[in-house]
Structure 1
């Protein structure tokens, strides 16, 4: 059953999401490490070129698809651990002391990151595909969505998945507008 919040059609835009994600990540790494110097244009050009190459690579997309949720769960738990520690009365200097170089926290975080990356690499590159001897049959879709003709265009544009995609994109556009605006610029009437 299709709903207005169905994100099935967003799968066709995954390559753009991967491209933007890889570009931002590589640009941030190049800007922070200053490997190529202070030239932001050079960093952006190299990051964009590498982002195109990596986004068009199937195994790289699979690796990002597997690694990203795991990193977000790890960052989520780390954030809330620090938040609970601060709720118990710790100051910012206490948190900085825990994250300092003398404690083993950085080493622990590095080990967890390496485990996540190595597990992901093992899952993506070192697992063999499972083959099946079962003959799969496909069911014909009786609707006119995707067929030729004017009525098919109307059926496609009014399909619940397409309408849900439009709703999600509109909500996302408004969210980006409100989140990126400086305070006081947007007037409410």
Structure 2
């Protein structure tokens, strides 16, 4: 406003604009001036300037992205624990024996059972000599399935055994030869 009672017109850069156009231009200029001073302006309110975190201080919230402090699946937590303690090999060996049906499939698991795993040699007991023969024929595929499930190097070879026949030897002394079988018909 002027001192002699006359009203001053719009500034020169707003001259020629009318109504809402003049308001929009003035608002854009005000926002630009606020941004140049470091203030974040949006929708009519001025946000306080954000400070960078001090060196060595961590923020207390994790935010929208993944963070190591977020809840983890139990399997990931146990895997990390096994790796940090050096138990990975033992866990892999245990998973071969514990998850036998899922590793080799239900059909094989119904007829063969793992009995031991020592020094990379997995001993498998088959329910019949026919199943033992079949497993020996597909031994390479079984090793590939096991390696895919638990990792390479856990099982290096298979020792497949058929059913154990009853022993006819009783006591400290026995007679050499066919023994009691030759009396059967």
Question: Normalising by structure 2, what TM-score?
Answer: 0.17
* Structure of larger gyration radius: 2
Q: Which has the higher contact order (CA 8 A, sep 6+)?
A: 1
